[in-house]
Structure formats: structure tokens, C-alpha cells
Amino acid sequence: MTDTSKQDRVLIFDTTLRDGEQSPGATMSHAEKLEIATLLDEMGVDIIEAGFPIASDGDFAAVKEIAERSVNSVICGLARANFKDIDRCWEAVKHAGKPRIHTFIGTSPLHRDITALDPDQMAERIHDTVTHARNLCDNIQWSPMDATRTETDYLYRVVEIAIKAGATTINIPDTVGYTAPRESAQIIEDLIANVPGADEITFATHCHNDLGMATANALAAVDAGARQIECTINGLGERAGNTALEEVVMALRVRNDIMPFQTGIDTTKIMNISRRVATVSGFPVQFNKAIVGKNAFLHESGIHQDGVLKNAETFEIMKPEDIGLNDTNLVMGKHSGRAALRSKLKDLGFELADNQLNDVFVRFKELADRKKEIYDDDLVALMSDARPEDERLKIKFLRVICGTEAPQSADLTMIIDGAQHQITAEGDGPVDATFNAVKALFPHEARLQLYQVHAVTEGTDAQATVSVRMEENGIIVTGQSADTDTVVASAKAYVSALNRLLMRREQAGPGADKRVVTYKDVS
């Protein structure tokens, strides 16, 4: 048997709360960020990139509180290559037991053009900013953004400068997901061989998934000597996302024979955090997503089912339990009690305090009155539908008239900032009428970009999960909800997106949105 204790350790750097949250529409509330940070810490993530403190007061407050509450993980904040960003970042992360500043600048010719710095000026900027950061903090990560499209000699030069100025981790970002596995490995191998001081620091790999190669590129970099993987839960992130944490961690575990590296991740916590991130970010996991997709452990075809029943290893390279997916097969119903619900939710990865359980139990009973059998997926949808008490917009009553005879109409009562309002609106179908009613009670300019409905389970009494995405002045938000009534789920998802929009407006303040504070601004 392999002695894994002698294997090299690969650090897991999670950037769900920074690069992941940058994904348009993936806004998380302050409380949600704290919850995800706690889950990341508990699952054994080595470094949590908690946010971009200069981007907004909301980002700063979240990074600071995550730092204050941190237990085991290093808490890292992002800063552009200027003293103001770095100072603000330090103010937020310094409260952590183990703080880190991550500063970066785009080094490829395209980025040098944008920043209007020539190669020498940029080299000087890197020296000055890394030195400044190191004077504040012992743990400094530096990234040459778009490293995989930076000229090799210039990359060696700037990496050496950053190391000499005090960087302890050098991250090599494949910012636009351009590289391929062999090249990803070669870049790390060449840096280690050619840059003086390279043996004294840790190389990290940060891959985006534009060509679907993020996981392969990250693992290739590790094979070549990188010892930190930057990743996000569910691969959340801008465009096609980042390397998925669950994929690299499980690949290193399942193929430890050919990739003999250890991580500190408790893999049984993967499923729970995946569900929480999907819920709070409003980005559902695609059904056939590796490791955490709904179908990842499902065997539909007769041949596969037969093989798995005889010997699970026939078609399964890992066990569902390895990622915390417990098949308890216990269907719940209206006679199920509080203890059974608590135990079932625990199996699904949700550990609830008594007051939380009371709230869920009430909603569970309401659902059980409408739906005979409650499956695991129904409970996950129920948990995802929990609404914070302090939401400004709430639906109190909705009755919709629909059918073959137009006009369809919606009679809606909403609570808006504590006051009750009622209206009846018409529309082209029940959902349109409902959305028109919401808009009449709470006028706004946000444009509906996406409206999607999925059945949670099978049968005509199944719950529907509705996702809504909206955009207002460049701010994109998503809302999700589940109900056995598709129109009610639609109304709740729409209102949830509006609540997130209000939160974003408050968090950002005038002109402080992080997508307005661009990476180009290095001054």
C-alpha cells in the first residue's frame, strides 16, 4: 500500500468569494460570504481568497469579518499594483491569524498596452508594490496576470523581481483559459529551472475554463512543480469559470497512483458546500457536471445498472459517500417528525440549529401537505429557498387567473419595506401577468435576461425550481426559488433577484461596483 504521508502536499487556494463572485450575477450577501468562508475553512481549504477589499465597502467588510472569524485557513485579499489597493487590502486581512496579500498586474503585451507602462516601468512598479506589500505582511502572493500570453523572457524577469522584492507565492494565471496541459506544465518547469530564487517560493496555478481545460491545465502544472492550485467550488467564475475545486481534489485522490500528491481537503464535505454555493450564488450546477452534478453518480442504462449492482467499481471510480452524497433512500412525507427531518437534513449535509430547524419544519409541513412524497432533491430545494428575515421585498399573497381565455391576470400583495401594497395586473400568460404586478408595485429599470424552469423531481406534483437573471446599469443579479406551483416559484425567484439588486446597490454605493473598478486601473 502507498505511504501517502511522504507525498508532496498541494495547497488548495479557494477563490469562490473573489474570482467566483466576480461572475456576473453571482452576488452573495455578507452573511452568505461568511457562511461559505466557514464551510471552506471546515473542509480544510489552505487559503481562502475572501474578496477584493478596495472594490467596495461591502467587499472590505466581508474580507475583514472573514479574517476576524478565521480558524485554520490563511485569509487572502486581492489588490492591484498600487499602494492604495495594497493598504486597503492589508487593513482587511490583517485581522486574520494567518493573513496574505495577493497583488497582481497584467504582464502580457496586451495588458502592458492597456496600463500604458513600458516593460521597464512595469518592472519598477512590480518591485515597488511587492516591496510595499512585504513591508506590511510576511505572506505575499504575486500574479503576472495573463502570464500564459506573456513573453517567456519578460515573465522570467518579472517573476525574479517579485521574488527578490519578497513574494512568497508566485501565481501563474491563465487568465483567459488559453493554455493547454503540455504548455501549462512547460511554463512551470521553465520558471523553476530558469528563475533565480524559484526554489525558495511556492508556484501556484490559476486556470480559467474557456476551452474546458482548466482542471487538466492545473494538474499538469502540479505535475511540473506547482504546489498550490487556485480553484472555486462548482468551477464558479467569470465566463466559463475557474478550475473546479471538487475536480482537482477528487482527481488527485482517485488517481493518486499517477499523481502522488496530498491535499488537506475533507472530501466528504464537497457535496454540501457545492449545494450551498449553487444556492447563494444563484448559479445552478449543470446536471452532468463532474463530481457534483445531479447525474454524476446516476446509472440510467440497463447494462450500467446491472454492472453497478453486481460490483459498484464496474462503472464507478469513486463512491458517492466520498463526496458526502449519502443514499439513505428514506422518503419523507407529512407524517415525518422533526427528528426524522433533522436526521435526513444532516445526511444531506445541512446541520441546523434549533431555531433554523423550526423554520424549515414549518415549510416542510406545508410542502408535505401539497406533495405526497418528499425526496432528497425536494429537501435540498426547500433548504435553498430559505429567505433572510431582513429582505426588503416579500410576497404575501398571489392569485393568478389563467387559461385559454385572455387576459391572464395576477392579484398580488407584497410587503415593501414593511408596508403592504396590493395590485391586479394583466399580462401575456400567468408569469408575465405576475411579473407585471411585481413591477407595478416596485417600479425598476432592471431588464430580465433569463427565465428558466426545472422540475426538481418527477410527477405532476413535483416542485419547480425557477431561476431569474436581471441586469441594471451593468449590475447583474440572479434569483432562484422552488415551489409546487410554478407561477409562485417564478414570482419568488423574481422578487429574490430584486432583493439582491437592492443589496448590490447598497453594497456598492455610487460608482463603487467592482466591475466599475477595473483591473486596468493600476494608478
Site size for ligand KIV, by CB under 6 A? 8
Residues whose CB is less than 8 angstroms from the CB of residue 450 and which lie 6 or more positions away in sequence, other chains included: 467, 468, 469, 478
Sheet holding 475-483, edge to edge: 447-455, 464-472, 475-483
Which of 120, 162, 118 shows the shortest CA–CA distance to 144?
Answer: 162
Contacts (CB under 5 A) with Zn ion, residues 420-439: none
Residue nearest to Zn ion (CB): 19
Contacts (CB under 6 A) with ligand KIV, residues 72-131: 104
21 contact choice in Zn ion, ligand KIV, none (CB below 5 to 8 Å, kind-dependent): none
Among 33, 100, 149, 206, binds ligand KIV (CB under 6 A): 206
Contact present, 273 and 233 (Cβ < 8 Å): yes
Closer Cβ to ligand KIV, 208 or 289, answer by number: 208
Q: Examine residue 16 and tell whether it contacts ligand KIV (CB under 6 A).
A: no
Closer Cβ to Zn ion, 19 or 32, answer by number: 19
Q: Where are the beta strands (DSSP E) in 351-441?
A: 393-401, 408-416, 419-427
Q: Minimum CB separation from Zn ion for residue 518, in Å?
A: 14
Contacts (CB under 6 A) with ligand KIV, residues 357-396: none
Calculated CA dihedral for residues 51, 55, 59, 65, nearest 10 degrees = 80
Contact letters (x/-) for ligand KIV, 283-322, by CB under 6 A? ----------------------------------------
Summary count for the chain: helices (H), strands (E): 16, 16
Q: Minimum CB separation from ligand KIV for residue 176, in Å?
A: 8
Closer Cβ to Zn ion, 209 or 409, answer by number: 209
Among 143, 215, 409, 486, binds ligand KIV (CB under 6 A): 143
Contacts (CB under 5 A) with Zn ion, residues 17-36: 19
Q: Minimum CB separation from ligand KIV for residue 240, in Å?
A: 12
Where are the alpha helices (H) located in 295-429, listed in sequence order? 302-310, 338-347, 354-370, 376-384
Give how far the C-alpha of residue 518 lies from the chain's centroid of Cα atoms, to the nearest Å: 20
Q: Examine residue 59 and tell whether it contacts ligand KIV (CB under 6 A).
A: no
If you ran DSSP here, which 8-state letter would residue 126 be given?
Answer: H
104 contact choice in ligand KIV, Zn ion, none (CB below 5 to 8 Å, kind-dependent): ligand KIV
**Cell numbers 460490483 correspond to what residue?**
311
Residue nearest to ligand KIV (CB): 173
Residue 313, amino acid: E
Longest dimension (CA), the chain: 77
Closer Cβ to ligand KIV, 22 or 467, answer by number: 22
Q: What is the total residue count of the chain?
A: 523
Contacts (CB under 5 A) with Zn ion, residues 231-270: none
Q: Minimum CB separation from Zn ion for residue 9, in Å?
A: 23
145 contact choice in ligand KIV, Zn ion, none (CB below 5 to 8 Å, kind-dependent): ligand KIV
The Cα-based distances of 375 to 78, 199, 334, 364 in angstroms read 41, 53, 12, 11
Residues whose CB is less than 8 angstroms from the CB of residue 310 and which lie 6 or more positions away in sequence, other chains included: none
The Cα-based distances of 321 to 271, 348, 349 in angstroms read 10, 11, 11
Contacts (CB under 6 A) with ligand KIV, residues 145-204: 145, 173, 175
Q: Minimum CB separation from Zn ion for residue 49, in Å?
A: 10
Q: Examine residue 19 and tell whether it contacts ligand KIV (CB under 6 A).
A: yes
430 contact choice in ligand KIV, Zn ion, none (CB below 5 to 8 Å, kind-dependent): none
Strand, coil or helix: 344: helix
Enumerate binding residues for ligand KIV (CB under 6 A): 19, 104, 143, 145, 173, 175, 206, 208
Interface contacts to Zn ion, rule CB under 5 A? 19
